[in-house]
Chains A and B, each alone.
Chain A
């Protein structure tokens, strides 16, 4: 059943509240506020009863899909299960009731968590210190680029304006570099799907500011030449930025700091199991090695004789990167996860993420084309290219058909270097049974593509809303109720 908007069930004069009689003298609002501050038109709010309201949103919520409901192999997003104990910890009143403007001595618990999680994340990544302020991965990238800039200005090397980004990168990488005033240069992947050293060599000059990489990359492949890449970039005077999107593949096995990265961002909402999707809430701490520490945002959180303090005394700091201290509740949930997993737990988490991805890959490559055919890390990328040539079925059709089977589709059409891409990341929290269920569905969809392609072209047919007109949505989006306008 398709739900209307809350505005469409509105009835004039219907209310869900009941005020007691006013027991103080009434004052006309015009006597309190100047006319320019007073609105002329009534706000266009829906008028509904409490029951209307509850039913409306309860119905909508039942159509929501999340990892608590089923398999969610959205490549590059690490949609792992978010343990409920995280919520319990973040719900402790000592965490819930604090305000960012409270004096230091009254928020020692939160500061303890912030200080300690920074230490632990540094240990896990091989970095020296960091900031928890960024609210998401891309925000972390932006901060990282600010650090690059501050570093080069301090070195008197303002001519370093070029940031290299591989053609398999997340779109946020070139966007972050561009918005921070750098010139973005794309470098090619080689036939193995990793950074081409030849392509890299073309840019090792005095304009080089650095390179942004994920490792493993978006094809789920480990950049095995990373030490050589780091050597060449550093040798040319540049810096290395690690996009932590794919950290879930390597925890306890290898560290960005040891690979030679200078700045790292992590996505606590991916790797460290806090709820995300639908745009938030995220947390993208940035960690750095020794040479970038002076430029970190203020305030730093320092420990002195067993208590924690904000330290603003940082001459070369890039300043604040958020209004206060970051998404504290997300940070607390991630800290809880880190503590109960422990070193060994995190290591086995990555090992199982890699094992799960390889198992699924092995089952699916019997029918789906795998353009980069190596052992993968935490994710892998299939291509519907051959299915498209043979049966006229695109990656999008396969994704839509998965909805009919009650499964969230993988990421499609990314990375851009794979045609008709289907990017699958099962994560470590799925059992063999749920991996097999997904593989069985995918193989069945392959048979459908072959024998009854119309089933896929018209999919989804079993969802509350059927195929969306994506062109119309992109060209003429209607993003709010327009009513009788």
Chain B
């Protein structure tokens, strides 16, 4: 399982990378693996206002539809339009295929995210549960 050391992770299996004051986010390798082949990504509108924890995007795979939660509040500054045509990019390169980037209103909101070691530990616990 690929868990890069330079990213932050949410319990809902999103990753976050801060770059030029924007928080880029996507889903983790674990998430894409359990979703299976992704066939559609519904990305949010540019400039939309969002709140941390809100349902902001949806990912549809051959198995199910899953919701993506915003890791921080702010406005949508960028969306990955490539996913419209090629949603499989998320399966192929989960950490490069970001879904959207947020201009954060409060960057301290990212503080409760996990680092890669904590996320790895979290995955282990989740796996043991069932």
* Residues of A that sit less than 8 Å from B by CB: 171, 191, 371-372, 383, 412-414, 416-419, 470-471, 474-475
Q: Within the complex, what minimum Cβ distance (angstroms) separates B91 from chain A?
A: 9
Q: Which of B13-21, B34-42, B92-100 contacts A (4 or more CB under 8 A)?
A: B34-42
Distance between Cα atoms of A474 and B129 in the complex (Å) = 32
A414 cross-chain contacts in B, Cβ below 8 A: 64
Q: Within the complex, what minimum Cβ distance (angstroms) separates B52 from chain A?
A: 16
Distance between Cα atoms of A416 and B34 in the complex (Å) = 10
Distance between Cα atoms of A474 and B35 in the complex (Å) = 14
Q: How many B residues touch A, CB cutoff 8 Å?
A: 14
Top 8 closest pairs, chain A to chain B, by CB: A474-B39, A371-B130, A413-B63, A470-B62, A471-B37, A475-B39, A416-B64, A471-B39
Known: A419-B34, A471-B88, A474-B62. 14 other contacts (CB 8 A): A171-B65, A191-B129, A372-B130, A413-B36, A413-B63, A413-B64, A414-B64, A416-B64, A417-B130, A471-B39, A471-B62, A474-B39, A474-B60, A475-B87
Residues from 78 to 130 in B contacting A, C-beta threshold 8 Å: 87-88, 129-130
A475 cross-chain contacts in B, Cβ below 8 A: 39-40, 87
B40 touches A474 (CB 8 A): yes
Distance between Cα atoms of A413 and B40 in the complex (Å) = 18
Q: Within the complex, what minimum Cβ distance (angstroms) separates A175 from chain B?
A: 10
B40 cross-chain contacts in A, Cβ below 8 A: 474-475
Distance between Cα atoms of A383 and B60 in the complex (Å) = 21
A471 cross-chain contacts in B, Cβ below 8 A: 37, 39, 62, 88
B130 touches A418 (CB 8 A): yes
Distance between Cα atoms of A372 and B40 in the complex (Å) = 31
A171 cross-chain contacts in B, Cβ below 8 A: 65
Q: Within the complex, what minimum Cβ distance (angstroms) separates B29 from chain A?
A: 15
Which residue in chain B gives the minimum CB-CB distance to A417?
B130
A371 cross-chain contacts in B, Cβ below 8 A: 130
Distance between Cα atoms of A448 and B129 in the complex (Å) = 28
Q: Within the complex, what minimum Cβ distance (angstroms) separates A424 from chain B?
A: 17
Q: Within the complex, what minimum Cβ distance (angstroms) separates A353 from chain B?
A: 25
Can you report 8 residue pairs joining A to B where beta carbons are below 8 Å apart? Answer: A372-B130, A413-B36, A413-B64, A414-B64, A419-B130, A470-B62, A471-B37, A471-B88
Distance between Cα atoms of A371 and B34 in the complex (Å) = 16
Distance between Cα atoms of A244 and B60 in the complex (Å) = 27
Residues from 30 to 84 in B contacting A, C-beta threshold 8 Å: 34, 36-37, 39-40, 60, 62-65
B34 cross-chain contacts in A, Cβ below 8 A: 419
A416 cross-chain contacts in B, Cβ below 8 A: 64
B129 cross-chain contacts in A, Cβ below 8 A: 191
Q: Within the complex, what minimum Cβ distance (angstroms) separates B24 from chain A?
A: 25
Which residue in chain B gives the minimum CB-CB distance to A421?
B63
Distance between Cα atoms of A372 and B130 in the complex (Å) = 8
Which residue in chain B gives the minimum CB-CB distance to A370?
B130
B39 cross-chain contacts in A, Cβ below 8 A: 471, 474-475
Which residue in chain B gives the minimum CB-CB distance to A186?
B67
B88 cross-chain contacts in A, Cβ below 8 A: 471
Distance between Cα atoms of A443 and B129 in the complex (Å) = 25
Distance between Cα atoms of A412 and B129 in the complex (Å) = 20
Q: Which of B36, B60, B65 has the most CB of A within 10 A?
A: B36
Which residue in chain B gives the minimum CB-CB distance to A373?
B130
Distance between Cα atoms of A414 and B65 in the complex (Å) = 12
Distance between Cα atoms of A417 and B130 in the complex (Å) = 9
Distance between Cα atoms of A383 and B130 in the complex (Å) = 9
B62 cross-chain contacts in A, Cβ below 8 A: 470-471, 474
Q: Within the complex, what minimum Cβ distance (angstroms) separates A468 from chain B?
A: 10
Distance between Cα atoms of A475 and B38 in the complex (Å) = 9
Distance between Cα atoms of A412 and B36 in the complex (Å) = 13
